[in-house]
Structure 1
Amino acid sequence: MFDRLRRHLRPTGQGEGAPQRHPPERQHNLFEAAAVYVAACAENDPDRSAEAARWVSPEALSFGVNELACRALVALARERGTSPQHVARSLLGLPAA
């Protein structure tokens, strides 16, 4: 929301009263949307997560979030020398299976 407002109010250097020209909206891919969405949720930033959720369809966002979760679990499991299942249960506060 603030990015749109900032772009709208940004000076264009065209003189007063001249129509403002805005750069075309950049297309975001589903992995970028998922990364921003999850990071914003982790940082408790609902405005940023809502913005990222608008970049792609809900199905695409769901796929991207799932892919991010899988990759994160694999990376953490390698770091910890344990299984992804153990890491997932640990992160969620579940007892070991």
Structure 2
Amino acid sequence: MMTGFLRGISGLFRGFRNVFTRVRATVRLPGAQAPRAPGTARRYNIFEAAAAHVAACAEDDDERTAETAEWVSPEALAFGINELACRAVIALARERSESPQTVARDLLNLPVA
């Protein structure tokens, strides 16, 4: 029984490693790139892009939403938005003293499970 549990945990961490390996390949760290020439576009990280994109969507700013969607790859943006959503639900759940599932369903106006 314990062996199955350890295999499950091992598979979980393998999945995390695979996701982070793919994300790391698409995102460059600030110190890992040469200084940019004046007038060249700034490189954004996935969390900056996700935060700006979600804020623009919340404000119904279509122009800004389209702009932020071009900052990183679609996969990286989706990962950042997912991470932002998870953190937001956890923070609200703690604030409300409710489970994350209850908070998520409430935010989406879904019936109680």
Query: Smaller-chain TM-score range?
Result: 0.7 to 0.9
Match of 1:49 in 2: 65
Q: Residues 12-51 of structure 1: matches in 2 within 5 Å?
A: 22-51=38-67
The code of the aligned residue for 1:37 comes to H
Structure 1: runs of 5 or more not aligned: 1-21
**Is 1:82 paired with 2:112?**
no
Structure 1 segments (4+ residues) deviating >2 Å? none
TM-score, reference length from structure 1: 0.76
Tell me by how many angstroms 1:23 deviates: 2.9
Unpaired segments ≥5 residues, structure 2? 1-37
Q: State the 1:90 CA deviation.
A: 0.3
- The answer to whether the aligner puts 1:68 opposite 2:68 as a matched pair is no
SS of equivalent to 2:48: helix
Match of 2:32 in 1: none
Q: Cα offset for 1:24?
A: 2.4
Structure 1 vs Structure 2: percent identity of aligned residues? 67
Number of positions where the alignment pairs a residue of Structure 1 with one of Structure 2: 77
Higher helix share: 2
**Deviation digits for residues 9-39 of structure 1 (CA, Å, limit 9, x no counterpart):** xxxxxxxxxxxxx532111000000000001
Q: What root-mean-square deviation, in Å, do the aligned CA atoms of Structure 1 and Structure 2 show?
A: 1.3
Between the aligned partners of 1:25 and 1:55, the Cα distance in structure 2 is: 10
Q: Aligned to 2:44, what secondary structure does the other structure show?
A: coil
The one-letter code matched in structure 2 to 1:80 is R
Q: Which has the larger radius of gyration?
A: 1
Amino acid at match of 2:68: A
**TM-score normalized by the length of structure 2:** 0.65
